[in-house]
Amino acid sequence: MAMLGYLYCCGGVIAGQQVVPAAWVEESTRIHSEGIPHWFGHYGLHWWVSPRSINGRADLFFALGSHGQFIIVSPRHELVAAFRKRPGTKQETTLPLRFFLDYALTRYGRS
């Protein structure tokens, strides 16, 4: 999961090779429709897009899978995180995203 996030963080390039077309990375991680529920952000193409105007911290995009799987990417900060945790409650669904914004981005993100 983290490698997929890293691939997209690097614009589709791994080890100097363009594995995913840069145009697809750009297109799939931009807003294509409003997200429901709004607190996730908006929806791109297989990615949720959460601009700073929604989350208050940074422009990022993320994949939200079943059972609490998250891949969160902030290209500007060169930061990727992957989480695999089944949430116990509906409110716990956003814990990985909140952790990323409140802790990881603050501590490890590059400006």
pLDDT tens by residue, 25-60: 999 999 898 766 666 778 899 998 988 877 777 789
Beta-ladder partners of 84:
69
Radius of gyration of the chain (CA): 13
Tens digits of residue pLDDT in 2-18: 999 999 999 999 999 99
- Going from the C-alpha of 63 to that of each of 11, 16, 17, 71, 99, the distances in angstroms are 16, 24, 23, 5, 15
pTM of this prediction? 0.84
List domains and CATH numbers for the chain.
2-108 (3.40.710.10)
Could you give the 3-state DSSP secondary structure of residue 75?
helix
Kindly write down the DSSP assignment for every residue of 36-82, as one continuous string: SSGGG-EE-SSSEEE-HHHHSS--EEEEE-GGGEEEEEEGGGTEEEE
Measure the CA–CA gap between 92 and 4, rounded to whole angstroms. Answer: 24
Measure the CA–CA gap between 33 and 43, rounded to whole angstroms. Answer: 5
Could you give the 3-state DSSP secondary structure of residue 43?
strand
- Going from the C-alpha of 83 to that of each of 15, 16, 17, 93, the distances in angstroms are 24, 26, 26, 11
